[in-house]
Amino acid sequence: MINCLVAQSGGPTAVINSSFIGVLDQALESKCYDNVYAGINGIEGILQNKLINLSKIPYNQLQGLKYTPSSALGSCRYKMKDYQKDTSEYKKLFSILKEHNIKAFFYIGGNDSMDTVRTLSEYTKLNNIDIQVMGIPKTIDNDLMETDHTPGFGSASKFIASTILETYLDSSVYMNNGIFIVETMGRDTGWLTASAALAKINGEPVVDFIYLPEVTFSKEKFLEEVNEKFKEQNQVYIVASEGIKDEKGSFLGENTSSKTHDKFGHAQLGGVCNTLKSMIIERGITSRVKTLELGVTQRCAMHYASLTDIEEAYNAGKEAVKYACEGITGFMVGIRRLQNNPYKSDTILVEPSKVANHIKYFPKSWITSEGNWVTEDAVNYIAPLIQGTPAIPMENGLPKYTILKR
């Protein structure tokens, strides 16, 4: 009996379950595997033998997950030990996989998850373990190397741009409209923040300033340009990344963040919009300053999801299984853009070592010389990824989502 295993890791996205269903559908269709297992709570749960046999669950109880946000299989932020120093976790893991006759493992995740794919692949090769390991990308941050973009990014961008349009209109109804500040996710990169440039009315951007982590933030320059713009139009709309840093390399939101780190050493950020608000009020530009920290809504808003994103996520899962059925192992499935208009893409194989522990930064050439806006190249890159609206099942006027009992 030959079985396969799929699991999810890291922060959820609106479309991560689409990749999971892609794996399930292709595994069932290909008949390469007798059973499809799911690892609950990622590699951390698998190490605790938390596996369920999806093949024993009626498919009609699972198919709705393609249009359900968040991680149906649960997630984790677990860093495995270095196998060159301690092999105990690896021996335990592969013993559990052997117990369930697992011959292929599909891991859906971001940068840190691809590090896990890398280490597991290396360990299997060094120890002649006949188990295939394939990585499937996801992250709203769009910061994975070697892939044109990541599943999850398009939907998050669509949500951000749509929310900006709506809040801009809401904040534009008074004689003195003041200043509105939106904070997006993006610890290291400004991909999500840049999507604010897509928010247009009658072809004109509604956002005045966009601040990305790739540009050093200058307090004085910020206050001067905001003050000038406010005097000019009695209203300013600002979008800033949670990861913007000052000249000393310190996060602007550091004072209001929890100052905690996850197991991979990443700082937990948040609070930039309030820091900027305080700067504006203290400078005396205006006391009418409203803020909006989008937070986790950016990664779970299926009602604003991109159909293009959903289908690409689904296809990445399917292609991972196809590759595995051909005997391929030790790679991540990347997305290659073929053309923009009409938009087309396909998949490529990427070595996880080129993804893990690397960051794909927003191109400096796509940032204007003033450092507070992005170029048309950025808009042309993001726009195709937000296209299409999924036909989400509805019930009593609300989305009908599916939960996997685990």
Q: How far apart are CA 201 and CA 41, in angstroms?
A: 42
Q: Is 148 a catalytic residue?
A: no
Question: Which residue shows structure tokens 């609070």?
Answer: 271
Q: What angle is formed at CA 352 by the lines to CA 336 and CA 120, rounded to 5 degrees?
A: 140
The two three-digit tokens of residue 253, written as one number: 């939101």
Q: How far apart are CA 386 and CA 163, in angstroms?
A: 14
| Residue 149 CB neighbour total at 10 angstroms | 24
CA-CA distances (angstroms) from residue 118 to 78, 80, 121, 183, 266?
A: 14, 11, 5, 33, 20
Give the full edge-to-edge strand order of the sheet including 178-184. Answer: 209-211, 235-241, 178-184, 289-293
Contact 336, 184 (CB under 8 A): no
The two three-digit tokens of residue 375, written as one number: 């170029």
Which amino acid is located at 72 in the chain? A
Residues 6+ apart with CB under 8 A from 63: 21, 402
Beta bridge partners of 211: 240
Contact 66, 310 (CB under 8 A): yes
Q: Tell how strand 331-340 and strand 343-350 pair up.
A: antiparallel
From the candidates 25, 141, 208, 309, give the one annotated as an active-site residue: 141
CA-CA distances (angstroms) from residue 39 to 106, 172, 259?
A: 10, 48, 31
Q: How far apart are CA 348 and CA 354, in angstroms?
A: 13
CA-CA distances (angstroms) from residue 278 to 183, 211, 233, 252?
A: 14, 17, 21, 12
Q: 3-state class of 339 per DSSP?
A: strand
Q: Tell how strand 394-395 and strand 398-399 pair up.
A: antiparallel
Closest C-alpha to 78, from 37, 106, 107: 107
Q: What is the distance in angstroms between the CA of the first residue and the CA of the last residue of the chain? A: 24
Q: Which residues are catalytic?
A: 141
